[in-house]
Amino acid sequence: MELLVTRSLYLCALFALSLAAPLQDAAVEDGGSSPAAPDRCAGIEFDAITPDEKGTALFFIGDHLWTGFTGPAQLSNLHFRGLSGAVNAAFRMHNTENPDDHDHIYLFQNDKVYSYFNQNLEEGYPKQIQEDFPGVPTHLDAAVECPKGECVTDSVLFFKGHDVHVYDIATKTVKTKTWSHLPSCTSAFRWLEHYYCFHGHNFTRFHPISGEVTGTYPKDARHYFMSCPNFGHGGDRKPLKCSDVKLDAATTDDGGRKYFFTGRVYLRVDTHRDGFHPFPITRGWKEVNDGVDAVFSYSNRMYLIKGDQVYIYKADAHFTLIEGYPKTVKEELGIEGPVDAAFVCPNQHTVHIIQGNMMRNIDLTATPRVIDRELPLPLSDIDAGLCGENGINLFKGSQFYHYESAMILAAGRIAPQPQAITSAMMGCQD
């Protein structure tokens, strides 16, 4: 969304702006609209917002809703059978320990709650809110899911006025906070692990535990959460072709979040249900403002390398720079920078550093850290490396080389056939 790219970084700008366009395949068919359908580009206030089971955002107003960030409105009861009238609040349940509830959609009307799965109303619904959510008030203003790691436990935030009722899904208990500094939310939305309070046609981003607001808010939702004429970053740019992709770094953190870095932006590529969306690197790692050369993750920490400097962040829901950093690559890893690529395989303690056509292995449990093995590679000028359960991918331009394991990579003397980066990997155009 907030794409802070400059004209001089044309490729990065093109990449970010083209991918930031809302998902087109989420649009509803014209046949679902009605003559009295409202226009969300007219500056309206949403009653509720939630993703559905597939990750498509649903925007409610009155007896209408929109599916996705573009397209016309349709009657809500065409999407949710048995629903009649306006919705006060809505959220998608996050409860992986209880498959009977996980990914179900809850819609609230006055003192009642509806539960849907695959657009089908569950047996026994609607119910009184207190039956499913004891301690939660009626006539809510907004609701939003908050998974463990972003909140202390798997929770739901229920908004009524300036009060926020934090409902613990496991214990079914409620703690109430008052966030008088936050506007009264008429709807709330969790998108790519960030939280948004919608009020009028504006929104304000907030921290789900403290309610803290950082940055310049409110902002007009028509610039970010929908496709409207004369709003947003523009839709006249062609999508980036996969053949033009060039990565700088890639990694998967301990929480399973996968990142690709290019220029001054990064892309989350494990969030297919929410689409592929680039953001400025400074949004996640505010101290790193000029791109990265290599990134790797180890022991709930993320190492970002730029030139001869390494920044280490604690990798929780949000990244925090560890005190005393950045340090030199020599001081931290025992080698001189710069670094072309780096990766750590799951449940391993060795970082594989690629410089030119050499791979240098460093034991991360050793103190001090020094090279314990140095191997030639049949490749050079590698841009990024990524290791996962399916093996290792070494990226070079718009292609990658796949190896089954680090052992096979170390023993290889002939490079495998390169494979092309595809739209499924990062949302580019094949």
Annotated binding site for heme, which residues? 233, 277
Q: C-alpha angle with apex 47: 42 to 50, nearest 5 degrees?
A: 105
Known binding residues are 233, 277
CB 159 within 8 A of CB 143: yes
Total residues belonging to the chain: 430
- CA 274, CA 135: separation in Å to the nearest integer? 31
> CA distances (Å), 425 to each of 59, 142, 260, 422, in order?
28, 34, 10, 5
Q: List Cβ neighbours of 250 (8 Å cut-off, separation of 6 or more).
A: 258, 259, 260, 261, 295, 343, 384, 385, 386, 393, 395
CB 15 within 8 A of CB 9: no
Residue 295 CA, distance from chain mean position: 18
| Interstrand relation of 120-121 and 127-128 (parallel, antiparallel or unpaired) | unpaired
> CA distances (Å), 298 to each of 145, 285, 331, 348, 401, in order?
28, 16, 17, 9, 23
CB 7 within 8 A of CB 17: no
